[in-house]
Amino acid sequence: MKWMLFLTIIDLMLGSQLAALEGTMESSISSNPGAINIELGSGALGRALGFDKESGIRLGGVWIGDINYLYCGGVKPKSWSGNDLFELSLDLDAEKISCWKGALFNVTFLQFNGNPTNAKAGSIQGYNSLPGPPPLDRSELYQIWYRQELFDKKLIFRIGKSIPSDDFNNVIKPIPVQDESLIIAATTGLIYTPVFVNPTLLGVLPGYYNSAYGVCTTWIPNKSFYTSLGIYDGNLAAGKQTGLRGPEFNSYHFDIIEMGFDWELGKDKMPGNIGVGAWDQLGKLTGPNNTKEKGTQGLYLFGAQRLWRRHPGVDNSGIVGFYQAGINNSKTLPMNQNLGCGLTFYGLMPCRSKDSFGWGAIWSKLNHRQFERWSEFMLQGYYQAYLFGDVFFLTALSYIPNPGADKHLKGAWASTARIIALF
């Protein structure tokens, strides 16, 4: 968040969840957020090729294209930039194919071609989650993993190359429930990077588009609680592009643990969740100005809550709020603290039940060893409109009053227009 950004989920995850709202999801999902396996796209490509749900083969993907304009402020005011992302994912359900109970395999390809959109605005946090570190033109084996459910789905592990920001600190992960009319497709459709990767984890948590090899284990003792533990190749912190590389296990590794809980409030059963986590990056880290440290650690918190239901028991129209926070003790990472929140409005526009809109605000304390500005604040609003089939149009307006790249930069205003096409 994603599915960063996030890295990571990425708007990809939001798109697939919105497709579920349109009726592609025919059965209730688990009530525990730790049990969710995020699928890419709508799966329409596989169905067109003759692979129905019972075949155990799912082929889907997403194409995202956007145009950004920096109206004023930042490094290059009155400038344009564009980004193009394509992903293709193959899921194999071994239980349906060969009676291998609880086993799932995935292979995902990623192609990205983009521009330094955030650098033009002088934003350290990133108002657009699609472009990450260079190279900005890349083709990669994004994911290749095996996932296994054990002991009546109370223990789940995933091993291989995956997107840790999908499994950890995932602010936009859907709030799952048994009653489909209660489903929160995604807590927000914001496109700024902090909703996909907490700013205090930027540079150490693998995610979009720098996935990493490792293993994640999740314990689910009941329908409301989970604990996840992950150990991954940590060479992202050494400046290596793990998304473009094979496995490399050395003194650099990234360890993370997260506990989460979800609930339903009141007579309208308004769902909510909370997650807390701790992480440890090992290895000798180097930052700007020859700053060095031996490993670093941090904590984070996130959550969401349904605040209002317009049509209880009928659909998911209404309002959802989310929040996030993080802190680390790093001398080399760009940000040391952050606080964020936002609101999302679903199905409230007349005759536009599949549309959503919302806003978010994020503040991060910058590392004083790297930046002269003490902090960076960002405010963003968006509107996502359903067009046809599995195609959506999203527009966002971002304001950064104090771009962190240079203390002399003026406040930046930027707009984004994006097409999201699922298949």
Give a three-class secondary structure readout of the chain.
CCCCCCCCCCHHHHHHHHHHHHHHCCCCCCCCHHHCCCCCCCCHHHHHCCCCHHHCEEEEEEEEEEEEEEEECCCCCCEEEEEEEEEEEEEEEHHHHHCCCCEEEEEEEEEEECCCHHHHHCCCCCCCCCCCCCCCEEEEEEEEEEEEEECCCCEEEEEEEECHHHHCCCCCCCECCCCHHHCECCCCCCCCHHHCCCHHHCCCCCCCCCCEEEEEEEECCCCCEEEEEEEEECHHHHCCCHHHCCCCCCCCEEEEEEEEEEEEECCCCEEEEEEEEEEEEEEEEEEHHHEEEEEEEEEEEEEEEEEEECCCCCCCCEEEEEEEEEEECCCCCCEEEEEEEEEEEECCECCECCCEEEEEEEEEEECCCCCCCCEEEEEEEEEEEEEECCEEEEEEEEEECCCCCCCCCCCEEEEEEEEEEEC
Q: How far apart are CA 4 and CA 204, in angstroms?
A: 10
Confidence at residue 245, expressed as pLDDT on a 0 to 100 scale:
93
Q: What pLDDT shows up at residue 40?
A: 86
pLDDT reported for residue 33:
58
Query: What was the pLDDT predicted at 45?
Result: 96
When pLDDT is cut at 50, 70 and 90, the band that residue 175 belongs to is low
Segment 231-240 shows an average pLDDT of: 96
Looking at the predicted structure, is the pLDDT value of residue 294 above 90?
A: yes
pLDDT at 321 over 90: yes
Of residues 181 and 342, the one with the higher pLDDT is: 342
pLDDT of residue 108: 97
For residue 176, what pLDDT is reported? 53
pLDDT for 142-152, tens place per residue?
999 999 999 99
Q: Is the pLDDT of residue 115 over 70?
A: yes
Place of tokens 């489903």: 183
Render pLDDT for 13-30 as a digit per residue (tens, 0 to 9).
333 333 333 333 332 333
| Cβ–Cβ < 8 Å for 318, 306 | yes
At 14 the pLDDT is 35
pLDDT of residue 13: 35
Stretch 244-272: mean pLDDT: 91
At the topology level, CATH places domain 11-422 in Porin (2.40.160)
Residue 374: its pLDDT value, please? 97
| pLDDT for residue 26 | 30
**Percent of residues, the chain, with pLDDT higher than 90:** 76
pLDDT of residue 174: 62
Report pLDDT for 19. 33
Mean pLDDT is lowest, of 129-133, 179-183, 376-380, for 179-183
Of the ranges 220-224, 295-299, 320-324, which one carries the lowest mean pLDDT score? Answer: 220-224
Q: Per-residue pLDDT for 223 more than 50? A: yes
pLDDT tier at 7, thresholds 50, 70, 90:
very low
Residue 415 has pLDDT above 80, yes or no: yes
CA distance 8 to 129: 8
pLDDT the model gives residue 35: 63
List the single range of 212-216, 240-244, 265-269, 327-331 with lowest mean pLDDT.
Answer: 265-269
At residue 311, the pLDDT reads: 84
